[in-house]
Structure 1
C-alpha cells in the first residue's frame, strides 16, 4: 500500500512540475490586440483609473416637499447630537388613510417611532427588548404604503 501512495505522489509532482515548466503566456485584458482590432470591432483597453466608487453617494435625493416644521426641528436636533450608528432615517408613509412619519431608532433595543402629520407620537412599531415595539401598531410594517425617504443623517 505504501509504494502505491508514493507512486501517486511522485506522479502528481512530476505532472505539476512539467506543467509549470511550459512557457505559458497569459494575455490580460490590458494588453492591446495584436492587429489593433478584435473580431473587426475596436475594443478599448481598460483605463488604470478606478471606475467603481464603492462609497455611498452623499447627495442622496430626499423628499423635501411639504416637510412640517416639527419635522424640520427634529432633523435639526438630530444634527446637533452626536452621530448615531446606524444613522437615523425618516420615512413618510400612508398608514390607516393618513400621512405618517417613521423615524428609525438610533440603536439596539430602542423604539422606532411613528408620528402623525402634526408630530404626535402614534406608536412604536418595532424595537424594545422584544423587538416588537409597544404593540400599538403591530400591523404597521404590513399595512404601510407609499414609502418615501424624507431624511437620513448624512454624516
Structure 2
C-alpha cells in the first residue's frame, strides 16, 4: 500500500514540475492589446470592460387560462409566505381521465399535493419521510399525461 502511495505522489510531483515549467500565459478578451490593434479583420479589438453578458432570462410562460379560483387562492397564499427552496410550482396533468393539479412544495419531507379540478386533495404522490408520498396514488408518475406548467414562484 505504501509503495502504491509513494508512486502516486512521485508521479504527481513530476506532473506538477513539468506543467509549471511551460510558462503558459492566458490572454482574455478583457486584456488590453499589446500592440494597439488586433491582427486580422474579423477579430474585434479587445476591450477593457467585461464582454461576457448573460442573456436575459426568459419569463416562463405559464398556462393562465381557466385557472380555478381555488388554485388562484393557493398561489396567493404561497406568494404571501417566504420563498421556499426548492421553489413551489403547480403543474396540470391528466390522470385517470381527469384534469389534476400537482403542487410541489419546499424542502425536507413535505408532501407534494395532487388536487382534483375542483380543489380536493386526491393524494400526496411524493414527499414524507420515505419520499414516496402517502401511497394513495403510487401509479401517478407512471400514468400522468399532458404536462402543462401552470405556475412557478417567480421570486
Give the TM-score of the pair, scaled to structure 2: 0.71
Query: Which whole-Å CA distance do the structure 2 matches of 1:129 and 1:114 have between them?
Result: 18
Q: Which residue of 2 aligns with 1:3?
A: none
Give the TM-score of the pair, scaled to structure 1: 0.71
Query: Which whole-Å CA distance do the structure 2 matches of 1:96 and 1:64 have between them?
Result: 23
Query: Which whole-Å CA distance do the structure 2 matches of 1:25 and 1:121 have between them?
Result: 62
Q: Contact 1:58 / 1:154 at 8 angstroms: preserved in 2?
A: no
Q: Which residue of 1 aligns with 2:52?
A: 50
Q: Secondary structure at the match of 1:78?
A: helix
Shift of 1:49: 2.9
| 1:98 matched to 2:98 | yes
Show structure 2 runs of 5+ residues with no match. 1-13
Query: Which whole-Å CA distance do the structure 1 matches of 2:27 and 2:82 have between them?
Result: 52
Q: Contact 1:112 / 1:124 at 8 angstroms: preserved in 2?
A: yes
Query: Which whole-Å CA distance do the structure 1 matches of 2:54 and 2:68 have between them?
Result: 38
Show structure 1 runs of 5+ residues with no match. 1-8
| 1:109 matched to 2:109 | yes
Q: How does 1:2-151 map to 2 (within 5 A)?
A: 16=21, 33-34=38-39, 36-37=40-41, 42-44=42-44, 48-53=50-55, 57=57, 59-151=59-151
Q: Secondary structure at the match of 1:57?
A: coil
- Provide the aligned C-alpha RMSD in A: 2.9
